[in-house]
Structures are given as C-alpha cells and as structure tokens.
Amino acid sequence: MISLRSSILAVCLQTCIFAYIFGENGITMADDTSAGTPAGGAGTADIVAASVLNFAQDVGLLLNENLHLGKTTIFSPVSIMSSMALLLLGSRGKNYEDLRHIFRLDVPPLRDAFNAFHTEFSAMMQEMQNNSVALQSRNRDNWRNTNVAFNIRTTPKVGDVPGEAMGNVIKIVNGLFVKNGYELNPKYRDIINSIYKCDITSLDFNTPKSRDYINDWVYKSTFGKIAGIITDNISADTNAIIASALYFKGYWENPFLSGATIIDNFYPDGIKNPAIKVKMMATAGAYPYYYASEYDCKIIGLPYVNNFTTMYVIQPNNSSRDKLRNLLKTLDAEKIEGMIAKMIYQNAIFTFPKMHLTQNINMKSVFRALGVNGIFVPPPVIDLSSKVLRRTQRGVIFPFEKSAGAPHIPTLNLLERWSLDRNRSSNLLSDLFVGDIVHKVDFVVDENGTEGAAATVTYLKRSGGNVLFRADTPFLLLVRHDPTKLPLFYGIINFPLPHFI
C-alpha cells in the first residue's frame, strides 16, 4: 500500500526484480546514437511533449472506455513517464521495443534520435522545477500575446503577489533503491543518475528500516508534503524499487470567489438527464479561450500565478459522458496543441466544480492492455553465483562512497556508450522484471484565494463578459506546464468528487 498526503501530487511506484541481464534476444542499437533536433522541422522539445501528451491520451481513453467505465479519471503523465523512462533505459529486446511503441518512440522522428529524447525530457523536467522567469522564452503561447479591451475584473489578483511568496512548487524526484548484495551495472547506474538525477541507494530490504528510509527520502524530497509512501514491509523477493513522485502546488492568477461557491447541479449525462449536486465555484475576468467548432467543443485556460502553468478545460458542446468519450477518440496531442495555439483572451464568467480527487490506478493492467507484457513475466532463474564479481573489482560506486579521481563524462557520451555496449556486455543486469506498478494521485481544485462576497455579486451580474463557460457537464482537464508543454495532470471528469445525492 502507498498512502499520500499533499494538496496536489502524484506518486508512481514500481517494484522491480532485476533479473540476469544481457540475454539472447538483443536488438541492434545503431539508430540510438544520434542526437540533436530530429528531422521533420519540429524541435526536439515539442516532439517530446507530444509524446507525453499522446501517451496521456492513450491511457485516458483506455481507462475511460474499459477500466474505469465512464467514471472520473485523474493521473500524472509526467510522473509515469519519468519512472518508466528508467525502465526503458534498462530494458532490451522485446521489452524495449514494446515500451518504445507505447510512447510512440519507434516512429520518426524520435526513432532516429532516441538519445535526444532522454536528454531533452530530462532537461525539460529540470526546467519545470526551476521556476525561473527565463522559462517564458522557451515557449510563449499565442494567447499570452493578446489583450482584451477591458477586464471586467478590476480587484487585486492573487497573481500580484510574488510566486515564491505564494509557495508555488513543481517537484519531481526519482529514486532507485537496491537490495543489499544486488549489484547494478555501473553504466546503467551512471546513466540514470546523470540524465534523470536518480538517487541510487543500497538497502537491507529484510528490515523495516529500509521502508522507513524510502519514506524519509520522499518526505524530504517533497518538502515534507508526502509522508509514509510505503506502509507495508517490502516483499522478500523484491530486488529493487523505483519510486517517482510529482508534487505541484499553485495559486490561480485570478482566484475563484469564495463567496460565490454554492451547491449546484452537475449533469453527467447531459442537462436533460438527472443531475448530481456539487459545490460549484465561480469567477470572472479575462481568460484564454477558444471555441473549436471543428471539434464541436470549447477550451478555456486558468493560469496559475506567474503564468508558468495553466489548467485547460476542454468541454464538448451539450456535453455528456458519451459526447466526451467521442471527443477523446478524436483528439490527440497535435489537435490539443492546435486549439491552445488559437486561444485568445476573452472576458468570461466561469463556473467550475470544487473537487478533491484521489485515484489509485494499477498501471500494470494499463500497460498490459497497451500491449506491454514481457516486463511483468519473470525470466528463467539462472545461477549467477560464479559470475558475481566483488564490488571493488567491478568499480561500483554507491551514493555514500565518493571517488575523488573519477573523471566527469558528459551525459550524451554516457548515452552513446550505453546504447552501443549494453547488448554485447557480459556483465550482470539486463531486462527488468516488474513486480507491480502503482500510480496514485491526490488532486485538489478550490478557490485558492479569498475575496469579499460583496464584490462577488458585482462580478457575476455585470454584462461585460462575452463568454459564459459552465463546467457543469463532463469535461477534460489538463494541467500543463506551458514553457515545456509537458502535461502534469490529465483528468477525465465525468463525476466531480465530492458530490451529493
């Protein structure tokens, strides 16, 4: 079991058994040595972001169609991808090909620039966490360059307070915890540490102290917001644990009006069918908006303070669960990015359900449904006792040991060496066998700011708004880090929670 404590966060935990490594089903890695901007005109960053968003679309559609059967779904694509990237680097043969396929890395242009994917993805994740003003030069969506003639909201905004003072945080951490006596290929260790800043620690999984150590690592890495990620003792047959956690905390640029929150109707199957009761928030002001007649839907954006991250809400016209499901089948990363590119500021009155969503997703079932099965099947047991070299002979350096004279090797060189050498190595550590993959999310949407109720009536009854957006029917929710275009959270909201009968 994994438990979460935080306002908005996601945790993805893999329990992995690292079996004997370089087996018979190797593949040629000649295409993996190229780097830089792939052919086709688009920058590597945009292609990487599209890969992550398309993966989110595939997972969301699968969950909505099958595993969750039209219920609400919320998950973190970046958290899942950051942890699975570690498995991708450590896999080979059919497992490697299957993982590449579900992330669409086996087709041009990333097929011919696979190393570029890892270097760019890791750089983008680091930039997300820096929260630097310089990020705005990486990508500036068109709607940020538009203005409205006037703003019907004239009172002070939370966004006027510096972002750091508001406590805005994006934090992604990766850790690999290895059972005492089980040694990693040193090249693999160097790769994941250099690219994904993955902490690697050797622990005695036979004692509760190992569980406490991992919990403490996550707690400290997330500013004390995530406690007790592992609640049970670690299974005796576990050789390694990959942990990835994403924590996000943000304040709206224009907060919802606390005095305007009321109990109102939400219609899962359209306004002509029975409703459920939810707490509906309200706000007004200038927001990025686009009416997408080509997809029979509309999209509105709610920027967080400092405009680095935005929550986009996409809602079909006359929405229902069926209409949203059909829209999801139509959309992909290119179409979503196309709608965002066409957004401009509009004065809008916006109502949105107040939600606290918690989700436990068995990603093992998801990956199997997507066609990845090999990583969940343990390989044959092979006696490696005669091949195990002592740590000093193999040059394995664990985090608590320092090598004063070790030369620094650039990340790209490490990737190239790993791509060329891993299939012909006779060392230990090969394909990864995954015991389980659990993804958990705790997601809160509330007013995130307080304004007087007296101003509320003025906002909501003025006639200045030319857009009325009521999220009282099913919609798609996307929390996107705009400079990198990476999706932090992806939600299919068919039933906002909590709701009332």
Give the Cα separation of 323 and 316 in Å (integer): 7
Q: Give residue limits of the domains in the chain.
A: 9-133+168-250+358-440, 143-162+252-354+451-493
Cα–Cα dist 193/175, whole Å: 9
**Average pLDDT in the 424-448 region?**
64
Distance CA 329, CA 56 (A): 12
Q: How far apart are CA 122 and CA 109, in angstroms?
A: 18
Alpha-helical runs (H) found in 63-185: 77-90, 93-102, 114-130, 163-166
Report how far residue 496's alpha carbon sits from residue 268's, in angstroms, rounded to the nearest whole number.
9
Separation of alpha carbons 294 and 426, rounded Å:
55
pLDDT band at 428 (very low <50, low <70, confident <90, very high): very low
Tell the residue number behind the tokens 């790209």, with chain if given: 412
pLDDT at 426: 42
pTM recorded for the entire structure:
0.81
Alpha-carbon distance of 313 to 316, in angstroms, equals: 10
- Whether the Cβ atoms of residue 492 and residue 73 lie closer than 8 Å to each other: yes
Whether residue 188 has pLDDT greater than 60: yes
DSSP state of 259: G
The tens digit of pLDDT for each residue in 310-321 reads 999 999 999 999
Lowest mean pLDDT among 39-53, 95-109, 272-286: 39-53
355-362 sheet: strands from edge to edge: 199-203, 169-179, 240-249, 9-18, 432-445, 355-362
pLDDT tens figures, 98-117: 888 888 888 777 666 667 88
Percent of the chain with pLDDT over 90: 26
For 406-424, what is each residue's pLDDT tens digit? 444 556 666 766 666 655 5
Q: What is the mean pLDDT of residues 115-137?
A: 80
Asked if 283 contacts 255 with a C-beta cutoff of 8 angstroms, the reply is yes
**What is the chain's length?**
501
* DSSP track, 381-411: P---TTTPPPHHHHT---TT---TTPPP--H
Tell me which amino acid residue 78 is: V
> How high is the pLDDT of residue 126?
87
Give the contacts of 181 (CB within 8 A, at least 6 positions apart): none
Does residue 452 carry a pLDDT above 60?
A: no
Q: Which run of H or E residues covers position 439? A: strand 432-445
Q: Smallest Cα–Cα separation from 436: which of 369, 374, 363, 366? A: 363
CATH code matching the domain that covers 143-162+252-354+451-493, chosen among 3.40.50.12780, 3.90.245.10, 2.30.39.10, 3.40.50.2300: 2.30.39.10
Please state, rounded to an integer, the average pLDDT across all residues of the chain: 74
- Neighbour-count burial of 355, counting CB atoms closer than 10 A to its CB (0-12 exposed, 13-18 middle, 19+ buried): buried
Residue 330 pLDDT level (bands cut at 50, 70, 90): very high
Burial classification of residue 101, based on how many CB atoms lie within 10 Å of its CB (0-12 exposed, 13-18 middle, 19 or more buried): middle
CA-angle at 426, arms to 423 and 429, nearest 5°:
75
CATH number of 9-133+168-250+358-440: 3.30.497.10
Nearest-CA neighbor of 93 among 391, 456, 474, 379?
A: 379
pLDDT at 306: 73
Q: What one-character DSSP code corresponds to residue 136? A: G
Residue 372 is classified by DSSP as: -
For the beta carbon of residue 46, count every other beta carbon within 10 angstroms: 17
